[in-house]
Amino acid sequence: MPSSGPAVRIAIDIDSTLHHHWPLLAAAARRRFGVELPYEQQFPWADRRLSEEQLRVCIEDTHSDEAIAGARPYPHAVEIVNRWYGSGRSIHILSHRAERSLTATRRWLDDIGLRRHELWCGSDKVSRCRQIGIDLLIDDSPDNLLRALDAGILAATLRHPWNKHVCDAPHVTSAADWRELARALESVSTATPVRSEPTTESVMSPAIPALATNVSRLPAGVFSLRDSATE
């Protein structure tokens, strides 16, 4: 079916969005530094138990090939994203992981059967969202969620202790799990079918051209992620 307008472009984070990343990080902190990081205590105002360098080392551990391969997606995440893909949404998986993790991440997405139009790894997801005309960003980072809103991009998240303070912000859609998130997003964003696009696997680079520099912005509250008939 030909497209009658711009497709809804959805950007989706990986860690703590597609899979429960915190147990991996907590295990790395315990193993390397003998530090306990209880998930339920990870509020923004809580005392930091790791230095920036220690945290960086632990995150790198969670992005090893073995750790990536062993990650288990949240219940219903894959089926919901695949349903969006199949009904015409343009799916972009964006991660802050380093370039060296791209191959292992691509393999993991293939292994769990998650369909997408792009996998991108880089440090500035919101700039990438603006570059390719993203309409909705699903991410756990409070900074990314608020920056997305500032850029005119709708924001959604699974609720975590560290982002609880932004979950009730205007125009942020939040939920406890993927089923609840999908239901909540039904009243947020409608897609027109997206043209078949080749899968793009990339890392952040100044040379990467914008994929959609003239995508029209879709106003909040006018479109819906409610399932459409099979195209």
SS (H, E, C) the chain: CCCCCCCCEEEECCECCCECCHHHHHHHHHHHHCCCCCHHHCCCCCCCCCCHHHHHHHHHHHCCHHHHHHCCECCCHHHHHHHHHHCCCEEEEEECCCHHHHHHHHHHHHHHCCCCCEEEECCCHHHHHHHHCCCEEECCCHHHHHHHHHCCCEEEEECCHHHHHHHCCCCEEEECCHHHHHHHHCCCCECCCCCCCCCEEEECCCCCCCCCCCCCCCCCCCCECCCCCCC
> How does residue 166 score in pLDDT terms, banded at 50, 70 and 90?
very high
Render pLDDT for 64-87 as a digit per residue (tens, 0 to 9).
Answer: 999 999 999 999 999 999 999 999
The domain spans of the chain are 9-19+75-203, 22-70
Segment of 45-54, 98-107, 218-227 carrying the highest mean pLDDT? 98-107
State yes or no: pLDDT of 116 exceeds 90. Answer: yes
CATH 3.30.70.260, applies to 9-19+75-203: no
Query: What pTM value is reported for the model?
Result: 0.83
